[in-house]
Structure 1
Amino acid sequence: MTDEKKLIVNSKRGNLLNELTKSIVECKSFYFSVAFINFSGLQLLLDSFKEADQKGIKGKVITSTYLNFTESKALKKITEFNNIDLKVFVTDKEIGFHTKAYIFEYEDHYKVIIGSSNITQSALKSNIEWNVEIISKEEATFIKDVIKEYEHLWSISVEANDEFIQNYEAFLSRLINPEMTQHQLIYENSTYITPNRMQKRAMENLERIRSFDEKKALVIAATGTGKTYMSAFDVKNYNPKRVLFIVHREEILKKAKETFEHLISNSGISFGLLTGNEKDGNADYVFATIQSMSRRYEDFRRDEFDYVIIDEAHHATSPSYQLVLDYFEPAFTLGMTATPERSDHNNVFELFDNNVALEVRLHDALEDELVIPFHYFGITDIEDIDLSDVDIDDIAEITKRLKVNERVDFIIEQMNFYGHDGQKRKCLGFCASVDHATYMSDEFNKRGYKSVCLSGNDTVERRQSFMKRLEDDADELEFIFTVDIFNEGVDIPSVNQVLMLRPTNSPIVFIQQLGRGLRKHNSKTFLTVLDFIGNHSKTFLIAIALNGSRYYDKESLKVAIATGFANIPGATHIQMDKISQERILEQIDQENFNSMKYLKEEYFEFKKLNQGYTPYFLVDYLKFDGAPDPVKFIDREKTHLQFVAKVEKDKELKGLLEDDLFEGALKELSGKLPIKRVYEFVIAKYLLTHERINIKEAKHEILKHVKEVDEDSILHAFECWNQNYYDSVQKKGKLKLFELHDEVLYKTDAFQTVLNKPEYHKYIEDTITYGMFRYEKEFKNDYYGVPHFKVFEQYQMIDAALLSNYRKIHTAFRGSGLLANGNEYFLFIDLQKEEDIKESINYKDKFIDQNFFQWQTPNSTKQDSDRGRNIILNQERGINLHLFVRKYREIDGKVEPYIYIGKGNTVEYKGDKPITVKFELETEVPANVYTEFVKKV
């Protein structure tokens, strides 16, 4: 056996944690020597240590007191394992300790990993770290030297017994600030604060929106992601003379004023509060509650303020806000909200002229490190809990079955095993009902865990009182059990543990509850989430919520589960035990995500969260992280309204749809969703309020949304609206909205007739608005050229015709796996062939690795044909080969989209009729996308 070596780095392809957890449970014994152990990293290894203990695998761990970075809590936890011996190297001023070595002994060899990673969540999962793994026979000199050095370190280190840990803990507590130990002290000039990535993106987009004379915009970002700082940065750049900052709650107001004062200091600007108690309305920058401003707005001139900011903008549709907003005439108005909910069933998007400067949802916030990472542990519930035959809406029956003493003991056992970050546990437990929450609180109190039940029945004062007690490190209260009052809007920043104690029936609620603990706070570095997974029929919804993608299919979900949700960014960790994984995978296999039954269930669950309002509008689905994809409803019934009318049995809506012109217009727009270039919808939006548009005007409007646009693509968009490239089937049942004459696009009389009726107009506008919002979320404001393809985005075959400005019937782009438009060649490739395809035409198309792809041409292609030469000499002949790949042709009876993996260039070829070609890809396929293509589940 020769020595085997590999480099381990943290990436979407893998990380050190994966290597360690696998090795710990497969080796004969293990030996670690690391300078630092934090509980954040140790928690991720607990299950592997436990499994090793059960298998009789022994371990030794050495760590150090170097820089006081190692946490006493982590040492204490390691000593709970019978199979692990722990020692600590006590450093002094002369000698530091900086080893990072992981040694695994097998029957006939050793595996040694040496590099830069300590046992912290970031080092194991997300930091830039280099670790080298070497596998070698035990007689090798290298292994002998490693073992000898380890034994020496072991001999000069101190046993981490109770006395040592108590002394170390006492020492740490004597530091000036127990929450600011030496390893956390970072030199920082507090007067020089720079915007984070989210804030920079928002400011750039706000500047772009204003450059086109737009006067309003909305920023959507989760609580705790820095919206107030973002608004202060933007105000600082914009430099208005007078600013009005309006909030719903007074406690937010003072913090906002402090943020602005801190960031815009030494500038001669005065800052004042306008509240029930303070009346400083003459300040340059006024911070007001809506309650005070709605009583006093007429004391100011209409143009008094240059810049108005509305915090918690989802309240802005209420009458008090409307009074104020209708009165003032600022140069610019910024709305900020964590969730663009409709208040009183009104649309907050319209209030800000449908200009969304930024939308940051959970995955974005994790990626940009705007919130803390979470460690999610999916734990199979005890056998006594059987929910397999219960309706998910039968809360009384679910409550009855969850109220089991043994389950309480099991929850406490798991809670104590996994622990939490920080000194005091501050935990929210989400329950099925008030009765269930009361039961959990009572049972926890009986067992000595100080708890309380809070619900919507409690007064605001009582809730706030207990929330303050939970946040108070000196108070004994550790648990608040609740139903749904903490889903949105209520903030306890220092929460460090969340218990999911009810069956998940909605990805939206799951994400909201998870989000309650993700606020950054100096007492924690991560959130512990324990989810007790039963055998309910909708358990798979957990996977949809954790996957973080609204646009999923069965296969991508299965791969996400099998890979431990490798697509989740940063140090966040998702781990499900084997039983839960198998249960969820089985449910996903059995579920048809495209069936009417499933779509109806998804729709009605969403309606329930929409305060019971029927979601007539597509933009309703933009409100919540985890909401269903309404395009699935459109695919089913041609338009969203047709779907709603059908499932609601809504006679009034069916009556509206009996108007052929309205239904035809809606079908024409809905059939283009989700849009893959924004030009057509920007043009349509403009023509809602104008009779005609020329190329120059269209370019001006389009540049409000993208950085660049070419005029030929605008003309092509005009031609598409003129239905130049529709076949007879495509035209059937669809209204022609616009007509093209001499490169000017006009609104048709028929479409104007539809728009003249307000009850129709609002649905037409909604469809256009939704298409543009969704486009901006997925494509941002980048220019992709011609063809207009974004790498790793989903496309159908016919999209290639549209996006390459193809000027023949677009439905010609179907059937064959190789299509062309001039020098642009489009290769549409199915990796998994249908079983009934004969072996003679079973193309050998496959990924060689993340940079190379093998493809076989159609059987008729010869090397000496013009097309054959274009393929094998593509670079020499200026031919662009665009590769579109999908794993399966269809899933659950629905044709799957292709993923565009970019352009490929031929580097090798062989054979004839067909030619086997090896492409080098211009863009490396990311690990998570590559895994989804090649992994078999």
Structure 2
Amino acid sequence: MDTEKKLIINSDKENLLTELIRSMNECISFYFSVAFVNYSGLQLLLDPLKEAQDRGIKGKIITSTYLNFTDPKALEKLKEFDNVELKVFVTDKEIGFHTKAYIFEYRDSYKVIIGSSNITQSALKSNVEWNVEVIAKEDASFIQKVLKEYNALWEYSSEANAELIQDYEEFLKTLKRTQPVQQSIYEKKEYIIPNRMQKRAIENLERLRAFGEKKALVIAATGTGKTYMSAFDVKRYSPKKVLFVVHREEILRKAKETFEKLLPNDGFTFGLLTGNHKQKNVDYLFATIQTLSKCYEEFARDEFQYLIIDEAHHATSPSYQGVLNYFEPEFTLGMTATPERSDSGNVFDLFDNNVALEVRLHEALEDELVIPFHYFGITDIETVDLSDVSIDDIAEVTKRLKVNERVDFIIEKMNFYGHDGEKRKCLGFCASIDHAQYMASEFNKRGYNSVCLFGEHSPEQRERYINRLENDDDDLEFIFTVDIFNEGVDIPSVNSVLMLRPTNSPIVFIQQLGRGLRKHANKSFLTVLDFIGNHNKTFLIALALNGSRYYDKESLKVAIATGFANIPGCTHIQMDKISQERILEQIDRENFRSLKYLKEEYFEFKKLNQGLIPYYLVDYLKYDGAPDPVKFIDKEKSYIQFVAKVEKDEGLKNLLLDIEFENVVKELSSKLPLKRVYEFVILRYLLDHDYIDVETAQHEILKIIKHVDLDSIIHAFETLNQNYYDVGQKSTKLKLCELDGWVLSKTSVFKRVIDNENQRAFIEDILTFGIFRYEKEYREEYYGVPHFKLYEQYQMVDAALLSNYRKIHSSFRGSGLIANEKEFFLYIDLHKEESIKESINYKDMFLDEQHFQWQSVNNTSQASERGQNIIKNKERGVNLHLFVRKYKELDGKTEPYIYIGKGDTIAYEGEKPITVTIKLENEVPASLFNEFTIKV
């Protein structure tokens, strides 16, 4: 056998962890020599080590005390495996130890991986690392030399016995006491720089202010640096006086410290306005709403140029409203993790619907604003049978979960996977108070110090238990709870989460997961153990972990099959085979578009909405993991019609009796989700104005995106004037605007509808939701003409609108290739339905991530004008845009295409059809490539 070599790097296509796991599953023995082993990396290899032990595969591991980086806890864990021999190279001042080698023995060959990666989560998954893999026969000179060196090292190293590990651990503790981990560092305010999230927010705030906006909202998860972001923006804006308002004093003190740190030499004075402090005569005042609401009239209305409302979802309450209505700052910034709506109003409206930034869990992981998590999905014990019970029947679910054998199983798995840091600080989420009390009692009986916390406990009791859990010297390790920690409670040092209840909502799952993701000096990852039962909603876990509100059956299945490879950074998601198969089966059976499924999803969301009917689309923006309401629109033509139907709501039904109102709602709803924002921005302006000209439209659009071309604005005016509707569309779709020259005005029908206060609220909601979701998906970028974003979803007809096509848009249908002058749009189905009898066998396929093979329709010859434009597209200045979908239909609904960008023909053959090879301008990301090419 010839020697095989390859370079392994950590990227979205591959990482060293995947290669190590694959190799361990296939080898007959293994030998590692690594300078450092810490628990974050070892935890990811525990299951492969256990499987190797079960198969009788033996291994040897050498690590070292070099730089005191190896974790004693990792050494102790490795000693638990009876198939692994462990030695430690004890370094001294003269000799360092820096090897990173992984050797796997096969029947007739060896695989050697040598490079830069130690056993840490970052080295195995996300760091920039180079590791070279060599496969060769045993007698190859390279293999012989590696084995000889390994054996020499093995002889030189010390056995990792209990005494050595204990001595090493004591040495590290002494070192920690004499040399604190957090060394004093030279830190000047100009060296503290914004992270990516903060930079984006500040840029967007600048742009909004440049267009005269006076308010904006930033939505980002707890712990992602919103306070720093506000301080950076204040520093840039440089107001003379600032008012920072929040409802908890403890947040206030931290905020004041942050501002003092970032603006130490700017000559400003800082003070608190609370129950105990009345420092009113300062430049930058940090006030609790409770105190401020009693004395705000002592200040001049224009006293503060910049007003910050933290936890802005509270700002709809009367105490905040008094403050907000009184002060007249130049700019007001709202910050929140959950933009909740309340009876007294909508937080989006309070900030003029200007959302400067929204950061949800996946973006927070990507931007490293929170710590990574290691999720282990574990099949629950067989004696717990939930297959014939509704997970909403809490009493019955609780009864079935209260099994001593299950408690032992949970403890066994918990001890196997371990946790980061010395003391375990764990939250256990239970099905009910009864279940939480049972778990705390059973854990205490087994010697694990635990308490139970639920809503009826006083804030003082809650705070006492939280402080005990956070205290390294207290022996409290577990707090079992129902749902009081879903949001709003911050316990930064939590390093473990136990999911002990059936998941019935992706929202709750994400909230519970989020409790442990706050950054903390003493942890580098969160351990999440989810005990997955055989109930009929197991697949909801996959929805929560997949991280996309906009999913389909196929993308979910591929995510599960690839171990959620789309999750960024060091986060690791692993499900055992039984759980995987169970979830895949459920996804296959479930119809995500059926009225039954949509109603279940709606009512589950309503329950989380405090049981209140979510009348508005923006209600779905407040929770990470909320359902996509556009699915409800697809079912009933508008969201209001869906709610009227499932709620049997007479008030809504009566409102919909106004045919013109119903038609306006349907017309606007049909545009969701927006693919360009211009039309909705123009319509939102027209809610409060009788007409709009091109210059004003440009000004309004530039509040949302960095640039817009004049022709596209004119095309948007023409579109709203229904210039490109066919006869059928004109007869059924209500006209909202009238174009006269380059001025667009409201039609009398549209004016009448929005003059009705009840009707206007629903119209405004659709426009706000459409614009907000557009901003979320497209950000502030300008995509040119055609206005396509890479890897976004599109229907065939969208290309007409987005390329400023000036004929009837509904003509964009049917054929696999449609052209607008020099723009050619190729629509490709990878899997053809068997029922379609084609006269040829299409061969449309990915050749690799950057090359695509496509066949023209079967009457296209190379000599024809169209054939020449395809095969010589580059020299003729023709742009080939590729839109691909895996299946034409899923769950009875037509699937959208994914835009994979432009490409150029680099090879071609054949006549009628022509088969061409297209080189794509952009390499398709690994997660999307997998979705297109993996059949589950």
TM-score between both structures, scaled by the size of structure 2: 0.99
* Between 426-435 and 725-734, the greater mean CA deviation after superposition: 725-734
Trace 1:479-490 onto structure 2 (pairs within 5 A): 479-490=478-489
Residue in 1 aligned with 2:23?
23
Matches of 1:886 and 1:593, distance apart in 2: 18
Trace 1:130-279 onto structure 2 (pairs within 5 A): 130-177=130-177, 189=187, 191=189, 192-279=191-278
Residue in 2 aligned with 1:904?
903
Residue in 2 aligned with 1:590?
589
Residues 179, 523 of structure 1: 8 Å contact kept: no
Deviation at residue 733 of structure 1 after TM alignment: 3.9
Sequence identity of aligned pairs in percent?
A: 74
Matched position secondary structure for 1:292: helix
Residue in 2 aligned with 1:440?
439
Matched position secondary structure for 2:301: coil
Structure 2 residue identity aligned to 1:193: I
Residue in 1 aligned with 2:324?
325
Matches of 2:532 and 2:604, distance apart in 1: 20
Deviation at residue 140 of structure 1 after TM alignment: 0.2
Matched position secondary structure for 1:831: strand
Trace 1:331-480 onto structure 2 (pairs within 5 A): 331-344=330-343, 346-480=345-479
Deviation at residue 344 of structure 1 after TM alignment: 3.6
Residues 375, 573 of structure 1: 8 Å contact kept: yes
Matches of 1:34 and 1:663, distance apart in 2: 68
Residue in 2 aligned with 1:520?
519
In the TM superposition, what whole-angstrom CA distance separates every residue of 1:750-809 from its partner, at most 9, and x where no partner exists?
Answer: 000001100000100000000000000000010000000001110000000110011111
Deviation at residue 135 of structure 1 after TM alignment: 0.7
Deviation at residue 680 of structure 1 after TM alignment: 0.6
Residue in 1 aligned with 2:532?
533
Structure 2 residue identity aligned to 1:19: E
Residues 356, 773 of structure 1: 8 Å contact kept: yes
Residues 136, 143 of structure 1: 8 Å contact kept: yes
Residue in 2 aligned with 1:75?
75
Residue in 1 aligned with 2:629?
630
Structure 2 residue identity aligned to 1:189: E
Deviation at residue 230 of structure 1 after TM alignment: 0.5
Residue in 2 aligned with 1:696?
695
Deviation at residue 731 of structure 1 after TM alignment: 3.3
Matches of 1:544 and 1:441, distance apart in 2: 30
Deviation at residue 346 of structure 1 after TM alignment: 2.0
Residue in 2 aligned with 1:291?
290
Trace 1:697-716 onto structure 2 (pairs within 5 A): 697-716=696-715
Structure 1 residue identity aligned to 2:12: K
Structure 1 residue identity aligned to 2:643: V
Structure 2 residue identity aligned to 1:501: L
Structure 2 residue identity aligned to 1:603: Y
Residues 317, 344 of structure 2: 8 Å contact kept: no
Residues 179, 522 of structure 1: 8 Å contact kept: no
Residue in 1 aligned with 2:918?
919
Trace 1:523-672 onto structure 2 (pairs within 5 A): 523-672=522-671
Matched position secondary structure for 1:746: strand
Inter-CA distance 177–642: structure 2 relative to 1 (3 Å threshold): farther
Deviation at residue 840 of structure 1 after TM alignment: 3.4
Inter-CA distance 930–695: structure 2 relative to 1 (3 Å threshold): same
Residues 379, 531 of structure 2: 8 Å contact kept: yes
Matched position secondary structure for 2:901: strand
Trace 1:75-114 onto structure 2 (pairs within 5 A): 75-114=75-114
In the TM superposition, what whole-angstrom CA distance separates every residue of 1:231-282 from its partner, at most 9, and x where no partner exists?
Answer: 0110011000000000110111111111100110011100000011110011
Residues 425, 478 of structure 2: 8 Å contact kept: yes
Residues 833, 842 of structure 1: 8 Å contact kept: no
Residue in 2 aligned with 1:116?
116
In the TM superposition, what whole-angstrom CA distance separates every residue of 1:115-154 from its partner, at most 9, and x where no partner exists?
Answer: 1110000010111111111111001000000000000110
Structure 1: runs of 5+ lacking an equivalent: none
Matches of 1:863 and 1:335, distance apart in 2: 60
Residue in 1 aligned with 2:43?
43
Trace 1:787-826 onto structure 2 (pairs within 5 A): 787-826=786-825
In the TM superposition, what whole-angstrom CA distance separates every residue of 1:391-437 from its partner, at most 9, and x where no partner exists?
Answer: 12100000000000000000000000000000000000000000000
Matches of 2:561 and 2:515, distance apart in 1: 27
Matched position secondary structure for 2:927: helix
Matched position secondary structure for 1:329: coil
Matches of 1:212 and 1:559, distance apart in 2: 44
Matches of 1:78 and 1:573, distance apart in 2: 20
Matches of 2:73 and 2:258, distance apart in 1: 35
Matches of 2:640 and 2:91, distance apart in 1: 70
Structure 1 residue identity aligned to 2:169: E
Deviation at residue 666 of structure 1 after TM alignment: 0.5
TM-score between both structures, scaled by the size of structure 1: 0.99
Residues 375, 573 of structure 2: 8 Å contact kept: yes
Matched position secondary structure for 1:276: coil
Deviation at residue 696 of structure 1 after TM alignment: 1.1
Residue in 2 aligned with 1:773?
772
Matched position secondary structure for 1:498: strand
Q: CA RMSD in A?
A: 1.1
In the TM superposition, what whole-angstrom CA distance separates every residue of 1:2-33 from its partner, at most 9, and x where no partner exists?
Answer: 11111111111111000001111210000000
Matches of 1:296 and 1:185, distance apart in 2: 43
Matched position secondary structure for 1:848: strand
Residue in 1 aligned with 2:64?
64
Residues 318, 344 of structure 1: 8 Å contact kept: no
Residue in 1 aligned with 2:853?
854
In the TM superposition, what whole-angstrom CA distance separates every residue of 1:175-220 from its partner, at most 9, and x where no partner exists?
Answer: 1449955xx8696635421111111111000000100110000000
Matched position secondary structure for 1:681: helix
Deviation at residue 839 of structure 1 after TM alignment: 6.0
Deviation at residue 157 of structure 1 after TM alignment: 0.5
Deviation at residue 842 of structure 1 after TM alignment: 2.4
Matches of 2:332 and 2:177, distance apart in 1: 42
Matches of 1:625 and 1:757, distance apart in 2: 33
* Between 718-727 and 771-780, the greater mean CA deviation after superposition: 718-727
Inter-CA distance 180–931: structure 2 relative to 1 (3 Å threshold): farther
Q: What is the total number of aligned residue pairs between the two structures?
A: 935
Matches of 1:651 and 1:842, distance apart in 2: 54
In the TM superposition, what whole-angstrom CA distance separates every residue of 1:26-57 from its partner, at most 9, and x where no partner exists?
Answer: 10000000110010000000000000000000
Structure 2 residue identity aligned to 1:133: E
Structure 1 residue identity aligned to 2:128: I
Matched position secondary structure for 1:13: coil
In the TM superposition, what whole-angstrom CA distance separates every residue of 1:548-596 from its partner, at most 9, and x where no partner exists?
Answer: 0000000000000000000000000000000000000000000000000
Matches of 2:895 and 2:625, distance apart in 1: 21
Matches of 1:447 and 1:414, distance apart in 2: 15
Deviation at residue 836 of structure 1 after TM alignment: 2.2
* Between 566-575 and 686-695, the greater mean CA deviation after superposition: 686-695
Inter-CA distance 177–743: structure 2 relative to 1 (3 Å threshold): farther
Matched position secondary structure for 1:334: strand
* Between 87-96 and 406-415, the greater mean CA deviation after superposition: 87-96
Residues 801, 810 of structure 1: 8 Å contact kept: yes
Residues 855, 918 of structure 1: 8 Å contact kept: yes
Matches of 1:597 and 1:764, distance apart in 2: 27
Structure 1 residue identity aligned to 2:319: S
